Amino acid sequence: MALNRDFVGRTYPASTSYEVCRVKIREFAAAIGDHNPIYRDPEAAREAGHPDVVAPPTFPIVFSLSGAGEALADPELGLDFAMVVHGEQRFEYDRPIYAGDELLCTSTISEIRSVGRNELLTVTSEVSTVQGEPVCRTYNTIIERGGAA
């Protein structure tokens, strides 16, 4: 069944802010196998010109879909999670994410389209500090296999 196109343009703010900490950055870097010291060592990060430990570029995936989760789980969207695979993700940065940042994320369903027998859904998320400073944008595309009519 095709996804409900009425969801395109709907925006979902995350219910809470996300507090970035050194431990989470270190755990994420370990999970992706990146041993860059700026992800673990505050002194190495400062020597590289950063105020604190830096998050790896793909770190926002940890929290960027939190607001959109409400939409993706809505039965009226028609998404069958059993048929979902990861399609694509990309990030555009205004500045790095640092330990100590408190971030807000607002997600929008920016596109739903059919490709062959599959449905592709793209969620665009705007990430900023709680003070309103833009940090990055994330683009996440998921594919529902066999979802097109």
Model pLDDT for residues 1-51, shown as the tens digit of each residue: 799 999 999 999 988 999 999 999 999 999 999 999 999 999 999 999 999
Q: What is the pLDDT of residue 14?
A: 85
CA dihedral 60, 89, 139, 135 (to 10 degrees): 30
Q: What are the beta bridge partners of residue 115?
A: 118
Q: Is 38 helix (H, G, I), strand (E, B) or coil?
A: helix
Q: What is the mean pLDDT of residues 98-124?
A: 96
pTM for the structure as a whole: 0.90
45-68: average pLDDT: 93
For residue 67, pLDDT beyond 80: no
